[in-house]
Structures are given as C-alpha cells and as structure tokens.
Amino acid sequence: MRWKFSLFTLLIVLPNFISCRKSLYDVRYTGRVLTFFTNKPVQGTVTVEGEGGKSDRERGENIFLGAGETDADGVFDFVANGSSYDDYFLTFPTATIDKRYTKTSKKELNAGTVFVGNYSFYCKVNLVSKSGNSIQLISFSEVYPRVNSGTTTTILHLLRMDAESFEAQAHQHRIIYELYNSNGMISRESRNLPITNGDTLSTTIEF
C-alpha cells in the first residue's frame, strides 16, 4: 500500500509542479537605463517578471522573479530567478509600462541600453496670413488657438516623444494644421522638420 500512496501523492504533486513552472535555476540580468535623448543615467529598481503556470496565464498574470538596482551609471547587473518560459517582462525606473524580452541564453538576459522617459521638443511656428483662410495647429496634448486671416503671429509648438515614438517619427518634429474658410475646414496638412539636437526649431507657414 505504501507504493500506492507514493504514486497517488506523485500524481497530485506533479501536475501542480508543472503548472507552476517554478524555476530551478538562476538568471543573470544585465543592461543600462538612460533618460531618453539626454542620455543621463537613471538610478532605481529594475523588476523582473515571467510567465506563470496555466492558471496564471488564464488570469493574465505574471510571476515575480526578482529585482535589482541600477548604479550611478544606470547599469544593472543582478541575479534572480529564471522561468521555464522564454518571455520575460522587465520594468525600469521611471517607466510606466514594462518591456518584453525573449531570453536566448538560459543563464543570462541582456536588455542592452534602455531609454526611459520622454523629451519635450519645441518649434517656433511663424504663421503668415496670405489669403482669406484661417489656420489652427493640431495637437494631442496641447490646445492652440485658431489664427484668423489677416493675422501674423508666432506659436511655440510642443511635441513630447519617448524613444519609441521618436523612432516611429523618423527623428522628425511633425506639425499638423488645418485650414479653414467661411464654409469650414478645407484641408488638413502637415510639415516634418528633422531633429538633430534639442534646440528649438523654426518654420514659417503661409496660409
């Protein structure tokens, strides 16, 4: 009867063990965290999560594997639990969302250089009236007044971007504007200016 009891216990414990996918090894996590565009080192905590068992995935939850600190140069290098799965989720200081990584080595995950935060880019937009139309600059975060015909003015256009949106915008400052006449909007247009540094850009739009 003893072997039957042992087999019964094994049949109960083994599925739970497999479903939890607990780590039997440690992983070295390395990388560097810098502020986007200014490249200033970021000090803080880096946390690591991995995919859990079936019940965890059904709930859309990950399991906590460990955490470490960045040094004065923004570098982190620590050892924490590993996961039986290849996908890991790292959360970095000042970042609002985690980043997903696929581990290619069983013993180490190198996140490389990670840029966090956003940078505010500015452009002086000189609006010069040349017709009977009016113009309005469009922004997802700022509100700009509509400029009527016969008016010449300058608006400081603000565009906040993080590293991903900066790459998606091809390192350009995009200005979107709409033109209106007495019957309503006649067109929506845009202008892209190359960003080479953090200096304030300048452009002129005749409307």
Same domain, yes or no: 20 and 109: yes
Q: What pLDDT was estimated at residue 155?
A: 97
Same domain, yes or no: 105 and 181: no
Q: What pLDDT was estimated at residue 53?
A: 58
Same domain, yes or no: 124 and 96: no
Same domain, yes or no: 34 and 112: yes
- Structural domain containing residue 153: 118-206
Question: Which tens digit of pLDDT belongs to each residue from 65-105?
Answer: 999 999 999 999 999 999 888 889 999 998 878 899 998 88
Say which residues have a Cβ less than 8 Å from residue 60's Cβ, sequence separation at least 6: none
Same domain, yes or no: 82 and 124: no
Q: What pLDDT was estimated at residue 106?
A: 80
Say which residues have a Cβ less than 8 Å from residue 73's Cβ, sequence separation at least 6: 32, 41
Residue 52 scores a pLDDT above 60: yes
Same domain, yes or no: 132 and 187: yes
Same domain, yes or no: 91 and 170: no
CA distance linking residue 42 with residue 79, whole number of Å? 20
Summarize the confidence of residues 31-54 as an average pLDDT.
Answer: 92
Domain count of the chain? 2
Same domain, yes or no: 194 and 109: no
Residue 11 scores a pLDDT above 60: no
CATH number at residue 24: 2.60.40.10
DSSP-based three-state secondary structure for 58: helix
CA distance linking residue 90 with residue 116, whole number of Å? 12
Question: Which tens digit of pLDDT belongs to each residue from 107-152?
Answer: 999 999 999 999 999 999 999 999 999 999 999 889 999 999 999 9
The whole-model pTM stands at 0.78
Question: Which tens digit of pLDDT belongs to each residue from 57-66?
Answer: 556 688 999 9
Same domain, yes or no: 108 and 129: no
Report the chain's mean pLDDT, rounded to a whole number: 87
Helix H or strand E encompassing 42:
none
- Decide which of 81, 116, 151 is a domain's last residue: 116
- Decide which of 116, 149, 179 is a domain's last residue: 116
Same domain, yes or no: 112 and 21: yes
What band does 204 get if pLDDT is binned at 50, 70 and 90?
very high
Residue 6 scores a pLDDT above 50: no
Same domain, yes or no: 30 and 111: yes
DSSP state of 147: B
- Decide which of 82, 116, 150 is a domain's last residue: 116
Backbone angles phi, psi at 8, to 5 degrees: -65, -45
Question: Which tens digit of pLDDT belongs to each residue from 146-201?
Answer: 999 999 999 999 999 999 999 999 999 999 999 999 999 999 999 999 999 999 99
